[in-house]
């Protein structure tokens, strides 16, 4: 076995089942080793950011890491933005980066020689460069162990460590599981929930899946507290049959309003809430003055166990009221707005959809109706690197075959990851991509005034505007082998979306939104 | 004036005339400041890598830096790959990165909080984070000074340093010019050129523009030495009326063959030649054993002055033979190969084209005829981050209005920077993009055997294959507002290319290559 073969074998032994790759010359031995490992699937992505976003979406839905295969310095760099999103989401990924052979890295004049550890270091939680073929397998096992804890693990693999003879695969290392929350903390929080204060339970992480949501619903029913999640949450299972949950808004003044009057916030896997950006004369820290912050579970702890134990400690056994299913009427003859789209989607979407969403200004309109739609998992843009809805959808569809995936993206955002459409077509993924086409960086039109940049002139406005020429996502999608159509009216969107829900396979709808 | 206004004013005072931007919320004050600065043009790019590649292409043709405007951590990260290419090309760029306000960066839980200095540090030669609004203008002047020396200069601008009141613009700092080569080194090299050894003059940098090329031609004529440039050279002026120059090949065994028998290599702004990648049992260092390496000018020195002085010292005044213009016949009824394309292009291209090229396997076929084409400037992929031909063409067209730009890209490479087409359309740039569509990562099919990964199986081959589905660049280009057509035969390519040469404005030709 060569080093690459011991590595691929070790990754598979450690439970890695898929590798999203955009290989180059220095990764050829890893690619060849995939041929001899039936337990690991290779998925070609035509741009590294697509591979990273797909690994993120896969991890969110499979609750285990994928591998990526990236080409030394600039190739890894192309993946950083969506690795950043994954890192903010706490999703583990094993990045294999094929570096120059050890003997070649000394040549600064070789085009691809770079400060690879610096480039990888800016976004990796775990970073190591293999020093010999014999060490590669063990390095791989350690990378998987880090990724299983939700870390971005990057193994820089010199080409000669891949092609030279090595010994054998390395045994998998034990997963380091989230720590259980001790009974005294459960008791302390249970006591605090009986003090009569106006309380919010702020949740993030695995507790937003069904078991945690149901425990939170029982606690809310027993104590009267509110439950909420932050705006850009990694994953939430929500909709009909689950407890109602608030979404903390995006803009700072809306957050302040939503949190006003609270006397205590109990954090469950969530950090204290802050705004997305700073604005002149507005606070970043939005916990109301005098409101106490209590921690039930840190992001490193088992938030589902903590909530379940808390419900138990409170004697909270009754589920309380659950979200009713509402199938809204399709708006008649109205303008195609995000609210109209939300109504149509909520009317027509099946059970168990995966909703992958990087939309910004279209978000609230869609959200309004989705909360009462059939139960589904929503995965959101967590790190502000826009354009990851489509790549995440690629990974989510591969993690959860049989489930319909809907990727929702703004038109500006969609331009960051166009090649993801090709992988959807090649892998015949059941992903419906919806482009919310408002023909602008609409969020920036809003933010311009909010940051105090007033009276924008023509140069400013042109930097936010996506007209001239208009983007035609139908043609772009067709150019990558994805069936596509444009909806300019409510009727067209309803017909196209209904059709997409009836069939399987990749599909794109460009929804031209009215302001 | 606020900090952003003092910065934009300072950049303009320092000679920066253009800013390639992909802004976000934390850049809004910089964008607004552009409105009040008539000396600086803002060009919107829909992806940060396009902005970086455009700045690189601009610098290569304008011989001065452009600015980019990039959005904090992930936004900058998206630009790293093409900044890496620019850095390898020795092209200066001033990156302005709008960071969180200083008060906001402490919140690790804010989605866009990142280790921004680490992310920027991996590719920046000069890196600074402004500490107060009053310092922003001076920081900008220092960034320009670094970029004028060919450095990647990155100024991280906290949003509050942009929006708070500042004093005044800062005066431009003096450019640090390349040092002149002292007479004793000129004399030493002149003496060495009379020792009868078989000699190669290896050139890189500004000396490959007309003045340096002509000096090298006179030296070659007087001494009989060979002149050459490395395969991925930042810029070269070549073709009819200029001295003939060899291009060092791409593959190591071809390089070894090309350099065999040399007794001395004189480096003019070039490092010693090495291979692109390492391969098992092949050398990375390709200077023949016993061949002496002499340096006429380092990359930091004035290579044109050095060559001119050397020609003078040698009494080399006669130009010798210059490359004749050859307008090849258009191949009749043959398959559309890269050679056939090269013949057609060389027959039909006008004088003074800018040739922006990131093709790999199609390169030699095109090159064969271009060397005798009308004089043109060629700018090449220098750092191995594929896909920069289109973005560089954007910048080159803006640096040299009135000159036709031809961007040549492989199909795999072209997927890395698709949004560059939109900027070509918006800015109505006179760029003809040619996609060499061989439907595969063809270079990897070649490299696979060369690195010793033999007997590739179906998974390996599928990771290198771009069929299934086929990419349709005509539709993708049309989707971004660029007129496009597909050529599958020699006749079709000749007709489409002839038409493109007759008209102005953006245009794409997808050339479906026969193997």
Domain A3-163 identical in fold to domain A183-313: yes
Tell whether omega for the bond before A462 is within 30 degrees of 0, i.e. cis: no
Outline where DSSP puts E strands in A464-506.
483-487
Cβ pair A397, A20 in contact under 8 A: no
Q: Could you read off the pLDDT of A98-155 as tens digits, one per residue?
A: 999 999 999 999 999 999 999 999 999 999 999 999 999 999 999 999 999 999 999 9
Residue of chain A with shortest Cα separation from B89? A111
Chain B residues whose CB is inside 8 A of the A280 CB are 160, 163
Helices and strands of chain B, counted as H and E runs: 20, 18
Q: What is the pLDDT of residue A105?
A: 93
B336 forms beta bridges with none
Do B73 and A85 make contact, defined as CB atoms within 8 angstroms?
no
Determine the Cα–Cα distance for residues A297 and A268; give it in Å rounded to an integer: 5
**Helix residue spans in B374-441 (DSSP H):** 389-399, 411-414, 420-426
CB within 8 A of B116, min separation 6: which ones? B72, B73, B76, B97, B99, B129, B156
Q: What is the pLDDT of residue B294?
A: 98
Domain boundaries, chain A: 3-163, 183-313, 338-512
Taking Cα atoms as reference points, which of B94, B79, B102, B24 lies closest to residue A383? B24
Q: Quick check: B473 contacting A, CB < 8 Å?
A: yes
Q: What is the pLDDT of residue A462?
A: 87
Cβ pair A358, A20 in contact under 8 A: no
Residue of chain A with shortest Cα separation from B381? A111
Mean pLDDT of chain A: 96
Chain A residues whose CB is inside 8 A of the B285 CB are 107
- Assess if CATH 3.40.50.300 describes domain A338-512: no
Determine the Cα–Cα distance for residues A300 and A90; give it in Å rounded to an integer: 10
DSSP letters along B238-278, please?
A: ESTTS---EE--SSHHHHHHHHTT-SEEEEES-PPPB-SS-
Q: Is the pLDDT of residue A219 over 80?
A: yes
Please report the residues numbered 306 through 365 in chain A whose beta carbons come closer than 8 angstroms to any beta carbon of chain B: none
Q: What is the pLDDT of residue A76?
A: 98
Q: Quick check: A115 contacting B, CB < 8 Å?
A: yes
Q: What is the pLDDT of residue B451?
A: 82
Percentage of the residues of chain A whose pLDDT score is greater than 70: 100
Q: What is the pLDDT of residue B455?
A: 80
Determine the Cα–Cα distance for residues A375 and B481; give it in Å rounded to an integer: 40
Do B453 and A382 make contact, defined as CB atoms within 8 angstroms?
no
Q: What is the pLDDT of residue B305?
A: 98
Do A472 and B457 make contact, defined as CB atoms within 8 angstroms?
no
Q: What tokens were used for B25?
A: 């919320």
CATH architecture of B183-313: 3-Layer(aba) Sandwich (3.40)
Between CA B432 and CA B440, with CA B434 as vertex, the angle to 5 degrees is: 160
* Identity of the residue in A160, A416, A422 whose CB atom sits nearest the CB atom of B278: A160
* Identity of the residue in A31, A101, A473 whose CB atom sits nearest the CB atom of B463: A31
Q: What is the pLDDT of residue A455?
A: 79
- Tokens 């320092």 belong to B14
Q: Quick check: B115 contacting A, CB < 8 Å?
A: yes
Q: Quick check: A281 contacting B, CB < 8 Å?
A: no
Note the ipTM here: 0.97
Do A463 and B23 make contact, defined as CB atoms within 8 angstroms?
yes
Q: Quick check: B280 contacting A, CB < 8 Å?
A: yes
- State the DSSP code for B2: B
Determine the Cα–Cα distance for residues B431 and A417; give it in Å rounded to an integer: 24
Other residues' Cβ atoms within 10 Å of the Cβ of residue A502: 9
Q: Quick check: B406 contacting A, CB < 8 Å?
A: no
CB within 8 A of A31, min separation 6: which ones? A21, A23, A42, A69, B453, B459, B460, B463, B464
Q: Quick check: B36 contacting A, CB < 8 Å?
A: yes
Chain B residues whose CB is inside 8 A of the A426 CB are 468-469
Q: Could you read off the pLDDT of A122-136 as tens digits, one per residue?
A: 999 999 999 999 999
Do A74 and B385 make contact, defined as CB atoms within 8 angstroms?
yes
Do A34 and B459 make contact, defined as CB atoms within 8 angstroms?
yes
Cβ pair A305, A181 in contact under 8 A: yes
The CATH class that applies to domain A3-163 reads alpha beta
Other residues' Cβ atoms within 10 Å of the Cβ of residue B168: 12
> Nearest-CA distance from A14 to chain B in Å?
21
Do B453 and A29 make contact, defined as CB atoms within 8 angstroms?
yes
> Nearest-CA distance from A331 to chain B in Å?
30
Residues of chain B scoring pLDDT < 50: none
Q: According to the 3-state scheme, what is the secondary structure of B269-314?
A: CCCCCECCCCCCCCCCECCCCCCEEEEEECCCECHHHHHHHHHHHC
CB within 8 A of B51, min separation 6: which ones? B20, B21, B22, B45, B68, B69, B70, B79, B391
Chain A residues whose CB is inside 8 A of the B447 CB are 25, 28
Strand, coil or helix: what is B167? coil
Helix (H) or strand (E) holding A446: helix A442-450
Chain B residues whose CB is inside 8 A of the A422 CB are 415, 469, 471
Q: How much is the pTM?
A: 0.98
Q: Is the pLDDT of residue A236 over 90?
A: yes
Taking Cα atoms as reference points, which of B514, B483, B499 lies closest to residue B344? B499
Q: What tokens were used for A362?
A: 């279209």
- State the DSSP code for A165: B
Q: Could you read off the pLDDT of A295-334 as tens digits, one per residue?
A: 999 999 999 999 999 999 999 999 989 999 999 999 887 8
Q: Is the pLDDT of residue A515 over 80?
A: no
Determine the Cα–Cα distance for residues A30 and A250; give it in Å rounded to an integer: 43
Taking Cα atoms as reference points, which of B81, B84, B111, B78 lies closest to residue B97? B78
Chain B residues whose CB is inside 8 A of the A115 CB are 122-123
Q: Quick check: A255 contacting B, CB < 8 Å?
A: no
> Nearest-CA distance from A330 to chain B in Å?
30
* Identity of the residue in A110, A415, A463 whose CB atom sits nearest the CB atom of B42: A463
Cβ pair B219, B201 in contact under 8 A: yes
Q: Quick check: A384 contacting B, CB < 8 Å?
A: yes
> What mean pLDDT do residues A256-281 have?
96
Strand, coil or helix: what is B23? coil
* Identity of the residue in B26, B73, B284 whose CB atom sits nearest the CB atom of A107: B284
Do the strands A199-203 and A264-268 form a parallel or antiparallel pair, or are they unpaired?
parallel
Cβ pair A205, A237 in contact under 8 A: no
> Nearest-CA distance from A327 to chain B in Å?
33
B433 forms beta bridges with B407, B508
Q: Could you read off the pLDDT of A26-53 as tens digits, one per residue?
A: 999 999 999 999 999 999 999 999 999 9
Q: Quick check: A428 contacting B, CB < 8 Å?
A: no
Determine the Cα–Cα distance for residues A504 and A54; give it in Å rounded to an integer: 20
Q: What is the pLDDT of residue B448?
A: 85
Q: Could you read off the pLDDT of A479-494 as tens digits, one per residue?
A: 999 999 999 999 999 9
Determine the Cα–Cα distance for residues B96 and B411; give it in Å rounded to an integer: 31
Do A119 and B122 make contact, defined as CB atoms within 8 angstroms?
yes
Residue of chain B with shortest Cα separation from A232? B111
Q: What tokens were used for B259?
A: 């350099």
Chain B residues whose CB is inside 8 A of the A47 CB are 415-416
Q: Quick check: B463 contacting A, CB < 8 Å?
A: yes
Mutate to test the interface with B, among A40, A67, A443, A460 (most CBs of B within 10 A): A460
Cβ pair A45, A420 in contact under 8 A: yes
Chain A residues whose CB is inside 8 A of the B31 CB are 453, 459-460, 463-464
Q: What is the pLDDT of residue B444?
A: 85
Q: Report the half-sphere exposure of B467 (CA within 13 A, side-chain side).
A: 4
Question: CA distances (Å), A336 to each of A339, A366, A501, in order?
Answer: 8, 12, 19
């Amino acid at each position: 076995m060569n080093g690459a073969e011991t590595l691929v074998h070790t990754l598979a032994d450690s439970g890695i089942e898929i590798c999203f790759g955009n290989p180059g010359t220095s990764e050829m031995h890893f690619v060849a080793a995939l041929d001899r490992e039936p337990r690991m699937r290779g998925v070609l992505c035509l741009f590294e950011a697509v591979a990273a976003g797909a690994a993120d979406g896969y991890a969110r839905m499979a609750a285990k890491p994928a591998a990526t295969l990236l080409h030394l310095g600039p190739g890894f760099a192309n993946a950083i933005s969506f690795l950043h999103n994954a890192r903010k989401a706490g999703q583990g990924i094993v990045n294999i980066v094929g570096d120059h052979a050890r003997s070649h890295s000394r040549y600064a004049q070789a085009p691809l020689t770079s400060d690879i550890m610096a480039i990888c270091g800016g976004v990796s939680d775990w970073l190591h460069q293999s020093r010999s073929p014999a060490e590669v397998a063990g390095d791989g096992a350690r990378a998987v162990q880090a990724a299983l804890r939700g870390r971005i693990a990057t193994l820089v693999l010199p080409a000669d460590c891949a092609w030279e003879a090595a010994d054998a695969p390395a045994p998998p290392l034990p997963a380091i599981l989230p720590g259980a929350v001790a009974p005294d903390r459960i008791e302390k929080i249970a006591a605090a929930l009986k003090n009569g204060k106006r309380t919010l339970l702020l949740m993030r992480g695995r507790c937003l899946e069904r078991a945690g949501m149901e425990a939170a619903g029982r606690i809310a029913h027993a104590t009267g507290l509110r439950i909420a999640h932050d705006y850009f949450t990694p994953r939430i299972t929500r909709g009909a049959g689950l407890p109602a949950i608030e979404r903390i808004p995006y803009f700072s003044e809306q957050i302040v309003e939503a949190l006003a009057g609270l006397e205590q916030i109990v954090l469950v896997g969530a950090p204290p809430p802050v705004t997305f950006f700073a604005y002149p004369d507005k606070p970043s820290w939005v916990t109301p003055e005098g409101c106490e912050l209590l921690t039930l579970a840190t992001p490193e702890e088992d938030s589902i166990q903590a909530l379940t134990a808390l419900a138990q400690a409170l004697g909270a056994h009754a589920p309380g009221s659950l979200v009713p299913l509402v199938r809204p009427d399709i708006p008649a003859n109205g303008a195609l707005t995000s609210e109209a789209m939300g109504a149509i989607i909520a009317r027509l979407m099946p059970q168990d959809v995966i909703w992958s969403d990087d939309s910004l200004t279209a978000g609230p309109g869609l959200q309004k109706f989705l909360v009462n739609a059939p139960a589904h998992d929503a995965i959101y843009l967590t790190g502000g690197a826009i354009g990851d809805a489509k790549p995440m959808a690629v990974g989510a569809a591969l993690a959860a075959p049989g489930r319909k995936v809907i990727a929702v993206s703004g038109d500006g955002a969609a331009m960051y990851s166009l090649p993801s459409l090709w992988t959807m077509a090649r892998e015949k993924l059941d992903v419906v991509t919806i482009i919310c086409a408002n023909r602008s960086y609409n969020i920036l039109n809003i933010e311009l005034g909010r940051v105090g940049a007033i009276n924008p002139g023509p140069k400013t406005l042109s930097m936010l505007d996506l007209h001239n020429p208009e983007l035609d996502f139908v043609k772009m999608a067709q150019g990558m082998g994805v069936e596509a159509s444009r909806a300019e009216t409510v009727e067209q969107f309803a017909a196209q979306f209904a059709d997409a829900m009836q069939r399987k396979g990749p599909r794109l709808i460009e929804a031209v939104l009215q302001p």
